[in-house]
């Protein structure tokens, strides 16, 4: 039988051991911010992409007037969100756009999407992304601040974060729209039916008319050897019904050209997309009707608007349009 004093000493020894064990479990098992980042793979010491970008870079913006200015990347991102999205949109839609704009810029500014950002970036949407800092609102600033440093990566590389105004149905492949070479389709792009019930009527359905001579001129500029254009019809379609090629009937025969390249060459604001519902020659004009706005690749901005209005987060919006990607914080 153990004596009272021995029992008391044994009792306190057991209690002490339990307390020390609990402290060890707490320290090891409850990571703080640094440990959480390591657990998520956000900070490594193996020379990875994420390890190289602990500090926010400075970018040189080529302005439309020919001048340049240097700003921190987050300030550039705010100007892009203000240039690429309309005023008074939901916060989560702005946050999704900020993450895409930041990712797109980092991919564009780096060699092979891995080496440190260098060089200049255009303020034009035709060369990079639209940049309009004069349109920055408090909500846009909040969206950029709340996503600070956050980018989309695929296999430790920045993604080419494509986006467009409205899909008008199912999103497109980059190679079908002529954005990448055949066989180079980015593996992180999804083809999904975009929810756009809150998009405006002029995006859901539109009409356009282009002089036949203009159509022929631009077709030749894209490399088509044609003369005496007589007819225009849809050639190849993708699995969402979007025109991949247009079939041009002319004096020399029939030639197919990339529909999106022709659209961009003529006027992408006039011919809003290649999701045609009707196209043909009437008199001296090519007349067409269609749905959506933009090339249809990647995130739809009106889809993001609709999803944000329905309570979806920026991460949910992005992962709806992109697959097998990671959202990570660089700085």
* pLDDT tens column, 109-125: 776 555 555 567 766 66
Q: What is the pLDDT of residue 129?
A: 81
Alpha-carbon distance of 62 to 68, in angstroms, equals: 5
Q: What is the pLDDT of residue 113?
A: 52
Alpha-carbon distance of 292 to 271, in angstroms, equals: 10
Residue 259 — pLDDT band, cuts 50, 70, 90?
Answer: very high
Alpha-carbon distance of 43 to 25, in angstroms, equals: 23
The rounded mean pLDDT for the chain is 84
Nearest to 195 by CA among 323, 93, 97, 80: 93
Q: What is the pLDDT of residue 134?
A: 94
User: Is the per-residue pLDDT at 7 higher than 80?
Assistant: no
Same structural domain for residues 173 and 292? yes
Same structural domain for residues 222 and 206? yes
User: Is the per-residue pLDDT at 47 higher than 90?
Assistant: no
User: Is the per-residue pLDDT at 243 higher than 60?
Assistant: yes
User: Is the per-residue pLDDT at 33 higher than 70?
Assistant: no
Percent of the chain with pLDDT over 90: 66
Q: What is the pLDDT of residue 27?
A: 32
Same structural domain for residues 103 and 177? no
Same structural domain for residues 172 and 157? no
Comparing 131 with 40, which gets the higher pLDDT?
131
Alpha-carbon distance of 204 to 198, in angstroms, equals: 10
Same structural domain for residues 204 and 131? no
User: Is the per-residue pLDDT at 25 higher than 70?
Assistant: no
User: Is the per-residue pLDDT at 238 higher than 90?
Assistant: yes
Alpha-carbon distance of 70 to 307, in angstroms, equals: 34
**Which structural domain, as residue segments, surrounds residue 261?**
166-297
Same structural domain for residues 121 and 219? no
Contact criterion met (CB below 8 Å) for 242 and 172: yes
Same structural domain for residues 304 and 156? yes
Give residue-wise pLDDT tens across range 164-222.
999 999 999 999 999 999 999 999 999 999 999 999 999 999 999 999 999 999 999 98
Q: What is the pLDDT of residue 56?
A: 86
Same structural domain for residues 63 and 148? yes
Instruction: Sheet with 206-211: list strands edge to edge.
Output: 206-211, 285-291, 275-282
The tokens describing 329, both together, are 């914080």
Same structural domain for residues 241 and 188? yes
Give residue-wise pLDDT tens across range 63-90.
877 788 888 989 999 999 999 999 999 9
Residue 154 — pLDDT band, cuts 50, 70, 90?
Answer: very high
Residue 24 — pLDDT band, cuts 50, 70, 90?
Answer: very low
């Amino acid at each position: 039988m153990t004596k009272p004093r021995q029992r008391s000493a044994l009792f306190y020894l057991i209690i002490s051991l339990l307390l020390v064990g609990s402290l060890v479990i707490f320290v090891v098992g409850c990571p703080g911010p640094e440990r959480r980042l390591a657990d998520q793979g956000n900070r490594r010491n193996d020379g990875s992409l994420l390890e190289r970008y602990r500090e926010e870079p400075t970018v040189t913006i080529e302005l439309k007037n020919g001048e340049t200015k240097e700003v921190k990347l987050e300030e550039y991102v705010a100007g892009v969100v203000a240039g690429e999205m309309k005023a008074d949109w939901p916060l989560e839609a702005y946050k999704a756009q900020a993450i895409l704009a930041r990712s797109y810029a980092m991919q564009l500014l780096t060699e092979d999407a891995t080496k440190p950002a260098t060089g200049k970036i255009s303020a034009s949407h035709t060369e990079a992304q639209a940049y309009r800092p004069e349109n920055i609102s408090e909500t846009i600033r909040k969206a950029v601040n709340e996503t600070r440093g956050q980018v989309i990566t695929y296999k430790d590389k920045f993604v080419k974060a494509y986006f467009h105004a409205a899909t008008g149905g199912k999103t497109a492949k980059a190679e079908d729209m002529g954005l990448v070479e055949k066989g180079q389709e980015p593996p992180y792009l999804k083809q999904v039916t975009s929810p756009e019930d809150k998009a405006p009527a002029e995006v859901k359905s539109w009409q356009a008319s282009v002089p036949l001579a203009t159509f022929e001129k631009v077709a030749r500029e894209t490399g088509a050897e044609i003369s005496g254009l007589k007819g225009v019809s849809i050639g190849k379609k993708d699995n969402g019904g979007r025109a991949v090629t247009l079939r041009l009937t002319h004096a020399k025969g029939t030639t197919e050209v990339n529909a999106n390249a022709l659209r961009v060459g003529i006027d992408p604001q006039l011919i809003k997309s290649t999701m045609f519902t009707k196209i043909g020659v009437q008199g001296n004009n090519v007349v067409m009707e269609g749905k959506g706005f933009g090339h249809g690749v990647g995130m739809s901005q009106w889809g993001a608007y609709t999803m944000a209005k329905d309570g979806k987060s920026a991460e949910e919006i992005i992962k709806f349009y992109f697959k097998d990607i990671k959202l990570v914080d660089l700085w």
